[in-house]
Amino acid sequence: MRSEAAPQPGGLERFISAGKGRGLRALRRYGVGELLFSCPAYTAVLTVSERGSHCDGCFARKEGLSKCGRCKQAFYCNVECQKEDWPMHKLECSAMCAFGQNWNPSETVRLTARILAKQKIHPERTQSEKLLAVKEFESHLDKLDNEKRELIQNDIAALHHFYSKHLEYPDNAALVVLFAQVNCNGFTIEDEELSHLGSAIFPDVALMNHSCCPNVIVTYKGTLAEVRAVKEIEPGEEVFTSYIDLLYPTEDRNDRLRDSYFFTCDCRQCVTKEKDKEKLEIRKLNDPPSAETVGDMIKYARNVIEEFRRAKHYKYILCLTLAPLPCELLEICELSLDKMGAVFEDSNVYMLHMMYQAMGVCLYVQDWEGALRYGQKIIRPYSKHYPSYSLNVASMWLKLGRLYMALENGTAGAKALKKAIAIMEVAHGKD
């Protein structure tokens, strides 16, 4: 296939992937756990809820961070981190002082404001754009429905409302394109337990196409993205990552891909649907449920997952204190588990989803025994349903290890932590 002209890190090249557009392929062999490349964030923004526990500049988790003397809402490791972040932080500093508690742009708006500022400050190609420039990002503008276009206009209005002093705005049409590009190409930075730390733009990482059978994994060291092989990759082979959570069956995964990224996956797993039967395992009963009953329960499961997601998000946004949140969310989980459990096995992915949510609520209210009970039910099916070296499996072993240790079961805790480390040494590197 014809290669496009672009700066290349050794061992990789940008090329035209049949049916997928731009892509990334290997020029040499990579072994499992080997680092293909790393990419510093073009720009990144720390999520508001992590302020005070993580540095706004480098995202390091530390105690005793120093706060910005003016807005007192941004925190830094040291003077160097603060100076380096100032060109971005100044976009928000005076606005946060002026708006007070009414300063509430979304993370997407905050990230887009930083992109506009970065393009003004640094118009030439950056170290993050060796293979793909931000301006080359796909926007899929022609595929946006009216609802998505309206959401983008709301974001544009918020950008104008909260950012005025330090930003020069392009026209509305250019902003629509930029927000569409961010929606398709932005990344969520997560810690080792997959907790959300912030959002970022990693142009070279965005070059990789999706597969539900990925051969690389993306992890983060602060605001640096690292791409490592989780399968052996041969010369000439395309490098694939996963854009989505791979727990779910084929139809669910492709619904998500079409909604967020405007394509349907044609990887081997999507074509064969080989894992769907065990992911949707039905309870073994003397009187098996009809196909219609199973179909109705799947619809119910999908609806309750969406209802739970909305409830969690809505209450988190509206309630500065989460006082009514845990008991209400735990009740949703338990009721849905009871209903689905009449048809689904515990290893069914919809059951696992609600168990994971229930575990999260238990962790929030420090019910360690409750969290451990859910985690013990989750871990084995997770290990079966997810690919090898999955961060979701590593994160669950890590949680279980900490819970066992907290409950003074050191032997079980050590075993769980060793299982987490075995995966993390591949996904994150030996250090």
User: What's the CATH number where 285 sits?
Assistant: 1.25.40.10
Q: What is residue 261's predicted lDDT score, i.e. its pLDDT? A: 97
Measured CA to CA in angstroms, residue 293 lies from 237, 249, 287, 345 at distances of 43, 18, 12, 14
Q: Cα 49 from chain centroid?
A: 16
* 228, 305: one domain: no
Residue 336 included in any domain: yes
* 241, 303: one domain: no
The total of structural domains in the chain comes to 2
- Beta-carbon contacts of residue 406 (< 8 Å; ≥ 6 apart): 368
Q: What is residue 430's predicted lDDT score, i.e. its pLDDT? A: 87
394, 362 in Cβ contact below 8 A?
A: no
* 357, 221: one domain: no
Q: What is residue 164's predicted lDDT score, i.e. its pLDDT? A: 82
| Residue whose C-alpha is closest to residue 221's, from 197, 186, 243 | 197
* 219, 305: one domain: no
* 217, 280: one domain: no
Does the predicted TM-score (pTM) go above 0.85? Answer: yes
- Longest Cα separation, the chain: 70
Count the neighbouring beta carbons within 10 Å of the beta carbon of residue 241.
Answer: 19
* 303, 345: one domain: yes
Residue 173 included in any domain: no
* 325, 396: one domain: yes
Residue 61 included in any domain: no
Residue that is written with structure tokens 């009187």 in the block: 287
Residue 152 included in any domain: no
Residue 190 included in any domain: no
Residue 264 included in any domain: yes
Residue 352 included in any domain: yes
* 381, 316: one domain: yes
220: domain CATH number?
2.170.270.10
* 275, 414: one domain: yes
* 331, 397: one domain: yes
Residue 168 included in any domain: no
Q: Which of 192, 224, 246 is the last residue of a domain?
A: 246
DSSP symbols for 340-356: HTTTB-TTSHHHHHHHH
Q: What is residue 312's predicted lDDT score, i.e. its pLDDT? A: 58
Range of the domain at 324: 250-428
Q: What is residue 318's predicted lDDT score, i.e. its pLDDT? A: 39
* 301, 411: one domain: yes
HSE, side-chain direction, 13 A CA sphere, residue 190: 14
Series of mean pLDDT values for 10-residue runs along the chain (431 residues): 46 95 97 96 97 96 94 96 96 93 95 96 95 96 96 97 90 98 97 93 98 97 96 98 97 96 96 96 93 96 84 49 64 93 97 95 94 98 96 97 97 98 94 78
Q: 167-171: long-range contacts at Cβ-Cβ below 8 A with a sequence spacing of 24 or more? A: 167/91, 167/113, 167/116, 167/117, 168/116, 168/120, 169/116, 170/116
* 278, 225: one domain: no
Residue that is written with structure tokens 């791979």 in the block: 246
